[in-house]
Amino acid sequence: MKKFTLIFLVVIAIFSQSCKNKTNQKSNEMTENIFLKPYGTVYEVPLFDSIKIEYYKPAFKEGIKQQKAEIEAIVNNSEAPNFQNTVEAFEKSGRLLERVGSVFFNLLESNTNDEMQALAVEISPEVTGASDEVYMNDKLFAKIKTVHDNFDSTKFTTEQKALLKKIYNTFVRGGANLNAENKTKLKEINKTLSLLSLKFGDNVLAESNNYKLVIDKKTDLAGLPESFVSAAAEEATAAGLKDKWVFTVQKPSLIPFLTYAENRTLREQIFKAYTTRGNHNDSLDNKENVKQIVNLSLEKAKLLGFKTFADYSLEETMAKTPTKVNELVNNIMKRSSQKAKEELKTLQKLAASEGAKFKIEAWDWWYYTEKLRKKKYNLSEEDLKPYFKLENVRNGMFDVAHKLYGLNFKQNKEIPVMDKEAIAFEVSDSNNKVISILYMDFFPRPTKRSGAWMVEYRRQSRDEKGNNIIPIISLTTNFTKPSGDLPSLLTFEEVTTMFHEFGHCLHGMLSNCTYNRISSTEVPRDFVEMPSQIMENWASEPEVLKSFAKHYKTNLTIPDALIEKMQKTSTFNNGFTVTEFVAAAALDMKWYSITEPFNGNVNEFETKTMTEIGLIPEIVVRYRSTYYSHIFEGGYSAGYYSYLWTAVLDADAFAAFKETSLFDKKTANSLRTNILSKGGTDEVENMWLKFRGREPKVDFYLKRMGFE
């Protein structure tokens, strides 16, 4: 008995010490977790260089826990619900969750790895579930509804009205009015959709990384510019393939190959590799994911009282209804496809004149278009690229922002960055006051998804004392890396891409709002692209071109003759570029306009849709379904049309500058004051009217594209 007691006491002591050690270990982990305390960095930017994968999960869980406590405090407040104790209190909730989420999910896109992807699969349903718990909280919604239904708008600012409307509508659209059974259904749908979106994106990234066109015969490089060949050689060396050349389906590699490679068989091979991603009936196939995503989206829409997901998605946009979107898409498609058919005839004629015995196919379009450009205008992309050194383009873009809005950009090497090749800038206004941090991350890597985008690690807002919390913005692209002594040289399309994403950045950096939830780019999806697309216009203006287009070897300014050729080609090949885009917008709308669950063949559905809109077989829709990340992963479901919608707006908006001057201070100030600084604090229709003084006109877009 004594022996047993002694052993028992020893075990208890060991167990107690073990528990104490575990408690201390957990306490230490929580203490050192960088997400759970101030970063202590300049401007409180994220400590990218100190992040450990094990920090994310406990930070997410703590964020969910804190948000739950914050919601309970609102619900249990015995005072009558009002704007301050309910709406503003809700607006301030969930800050930790947002803090860790902005870092994790942004890095998941730009600097991912297997561990992060696995963690995303684990944590995304929890985060989605936590969000659903908030927006389906009956007691919380009852308080918000009370404030909404008894709101005396005369006593509040436009911004406060917008905040209440945004929060109330988000609850309703999030299922707050559903019964208990349907709330449970919606929660399961949302969790499953979050996982399917992750899987869809992971599959696209993996297949893009897996494909390599390996060339070992120098004769197969015929037609390719030397700079491009050198880059392919470096790619091969990095892959351990000595004396070979590697080309990938990343745009900086794919498009030049399709444009210049004389070997038609290899052009076909790499083109088909790109356009069949996620479509090989293997472990990375996305067809089943597409079906599940569109069907669950439809089920969600019907639960919430909508006929289709497109109806649900468009409710809070400028377009409002699928009918309005389809009218615009069909109108532009008729014009662009007619021009594309004319372009095709010209390309076929050119190919025949060179002895080609074949019919032009999709993988021939870039190649013969470039030949035609050279023949018709004596201009090729290779003539222009030496003038578009990346750093010069960037500085020219900064100069435009300075002339328009008085902004200054200063690199700060002390600011932690998300990758060794990324750089950070302090952005200050005309009074030398820092108003934002801007990251720039230009080059492709296997851990980064393709494309170009802007994200926010922190949106602009004000704290309880009215102090401005500056935004932290990132501009991400996949431009060609420097190679040997050759700097990164951009195509003009890449120049406009940089200006485009910078326009989004300006929208975030110039935000001047109180509330995080409606600041910055928090505007309807078919308006958010207007600030980005209007910036593209400055990139092609002769005055701006001469400020940054300097030859990388001689530093000589781009000649007037080249600029004149560029202007003459401004509508060249627009039939193709607009048609492939509008086809993608139509495909998006078709998928999300289904009224019954889809159980058919994804490829057949896509082919039928393209036939219905009149897409010629020589043009492939810009994004085929199995790699259409915008609508199956990126949040643009039933929204890809917005680039076209806002193209009409940006053409009209830029005309305001052309009617005055390129850097007219009054017009720039009006754009900044009435649109760029406003976030979602007012109806976008009102913002537009204050800036332009009338409804938008489509004429400016049609003229710009050469469709009149």
* Positions in the chain short of pLDDT 70: 1-31
| Cβ neighbours of 684 (radius 10 Å) | 19
**Neighbour count for residue 679 (Cβ, 10 Å):** 29
Could you tell me the two tokens for 261? 């490679």
Beta bridge partners of 545: none
By C-alpha distance, which of 359, 362, 345, 358 is closest to 268? 362
Q: What is the pLDDT of residue 19?
A: 47
Structural contact between residues 233 and 332, judged by C-beta atoms closer than 8 angstroms: no
- H helix runs in 459-592, sequence order: 492-509, 525-528, 530-539, 542-548, 560-568, 574-591
Task: Give the residue extent of every domain in the chain.
Answer: 2-32, 42-177, 211-275, 287-379+576-632, 386-568+642-705
End-to-end CA distance of the chain: 101
φ, ψ for residue 48, nearest 5 deg? -55, -40
Q: Which residue has the tokens 């005072």?
A: 79
d(CA 345, CA 270): 24
Architecture of domain 386-568+642-705: Orthogonal Bundle (1.10)
Looking at residue 30, what is its pLDDT? Answer: 56
Pairing of the two strands 423-428 and 213-215:
unpaired
Beta bridge partners of 476: 441, 453
Closest CA to 449 of 104, 53, 107, 49: 107
The Cα 113–Cα 291 span in angstroms is 27
DSSP letter (8 states) at residue 440: E
Render 246-305 in DSSP notation, one character per residue: EE-SSHHHHHHHHHH---HHHHHHHHHHHHTTT-SSSTT--HHHHHHHHHHHHHHHHHTT
Beta-strand relationship, 472-476 and 434-441: parallel
Q: Where are the alpha helices (DSSP H) in 592-641?
A: 602-612, 629-632
- From the number of C-beta atoms within 10 Å of its C-beta (0-12, 13-18, 19+), residue 13 rates as exposed
CA-to-CA separations, 580 to 583, 619, 683, in angstroms, rounded: 5, 7, 31
Cβ(479)–Cβ(487) below 8 Å: no
* Same fold: 287-379+576-632 with 386-568+642-705: yes
The alpha carbon dihedral of 403, 404, 406, 408 has a sign of negative
At residue 708, the pLDDT reads: 75
| Active-site annotation holds for 501 | yes
Which residues 6+ apart lie within 8 Å of 687 measured at CB?
674, 675, 678
Distance, CA of 367 to CA of 380 (rounded, Å): 11
Distance CA 180, CA 186 (A): 10
Topology adopted by domain 287-379+576-632: Neurolysin; domain 3 (1.10.1370)
Taking residue 14's Cβ as centre, other Cβ atoms within 10 Å add up to 10
pLDDT of res. 179 = 97
Out of 501, 536, 541, 606, the active site residue is: 501
* CB 104 within 8 Å of CB 57: no
Provide the edge-to-edge strand list for the sheet that holds 434-441. Answer: 408-411, 423-428, 434-441, 472-476, 453-458
C-alpha–C-alpha distance, residues 161 and 683, integer Å: 11
- Are residues 638 and 329 in contact, defined by beta-carbon separation less than 8 angstroms? no
Phi, then psi, of 583 in degrees rounded to 5: -60, -40
679 contacts 513 by C-beta, under 8 angstroms? yes
**pLDDT tens, 358-406?**
999 999 999 999 999 999 999 998 999 999 999 999 999 999 999 999 9
- Taking Cα atoms as reference points, which of 205, 291, 227, 238 lies closest to residue 487? 227
3 state DSSP class of 462: strand
Distance of CA 313 to the CA centre of its chain: 17
Q: From CA 365, how far away is CA 405, in angstroms rounded?
A: 40
Tell me the two tokens of residue 422. Answer: 């990324």
pLDDT at position 151 is: 86
What is the helix, strand, coil percentage profile of the chain, to 5? 60, 5, 30
Q: Hey, what are 637's tokens? A: 């479901």
Domain 42-177 falls in which CATH fold?
Glutathione S-transferase Yfyf (Class Pi); Chain A, domain 2 (1.20.1050)
The strand pair at 453-458 and 472-476 is best described as antiparallel
| Residue whose pair of structure tokens reads 């919608």 in the numeric block | 645
Q: Which of 568, 407, 608, 576 is nearest to 502 (CA)?
A: 407
Can you read off the two tokens belonging to residue 622?
């810009």
pLDDT tens column, 6-48: 333 333 343 444 444 444 444 445 569 999 999 999 999 999 9
